[in-house]
Structure 1
């Protein structure tokens, strides 16, 4: 009986220790309960959009995304959610020529809109 418990404990430890993540993109991070621009959305925009959507915009970007009002306007009137949600390599996908944002980051921006675009 004691040997069976030891074998079961060893099997559990072997299975538990084999769980790894190869990249940050593999990690699933749920959106905050209430998404706000300053704490949740701005870091995503700054890390992925500002290289082109700066002030003034560069590389053919049609608008700047440097302020809360800029990003709010882009979500409401410029199709920002559509553009970042397109499949990798699809025409018009953002970031242009880059890698599609992880779905968790897209979900945060969607939830921000659903939560009322709080600053």
Structure 2
């Protein structure tokens, strides 16, 4: 029985050694296609899920402007410091969403990328 276990162990190791080589890096390249970040496929849902409760068509809770349209959000990034406000540390004065939890950095990065690549609709 011990000889059978030894033989199976050797066969398994041999199989693994043959099956796992590091001669090719082609299997290491991530070919995942990342959708282009646009307002309609990325940014709108972030704003709708995190900002609209105050920045509605008629802003509430002291919000100074609406963020319901592409033009509103683009203007907020360009002229109202939206990215700077959502990038502030949790609890910092003026951090958005006001009274909420800071957005994950990956989410903030998507909005920044959208702005940096020309505000694609």
State the TM bucket, normalised to the shorter chain. 0.7 to 0.9
Normalising by structure 2, what TM-score?
A: 0.73
Higher relative contact order (CA closer than 8 Å, sequence separation 6+): 1
Largest Rg, 1 or 2: 2
Structure-1 residue corresponding to 2:29? none
Query: 4+ residue runs of structure 1 moved beyond 6 angstroms?
Result: none
Equivalents in 1 of 2:44, 2:103: separation in Å?
14
* Structure 2 unaligned spans of 5+: 1-5, 17-33
* SS of structure 2 residue aligned to 1:46: helix
Alpha-carbon separation, structure 2, partners of 1:104 and 1:36 = 15
| Aligned Cα root-mean-square deviation (Å) | 2.0
CA–CA separation in structure 1 for the residues paired with 2:66 and 2:120 = 19
1:87 equivalent in alignment to 2:89: yes
Whole-Å separation in 1 of the counterparts to 2:108 and 2:43? 10
For structure 1, list consecutive stretches of 5 or more residues without a partner in the other structure.
10-31
Partner of 2:9: 3
Aligned residue in 1 for 2:25: none
Which residue of 2 is the match for residue 39 of structure 1? 41
TM-score in terms of structure 1 length = 0.74
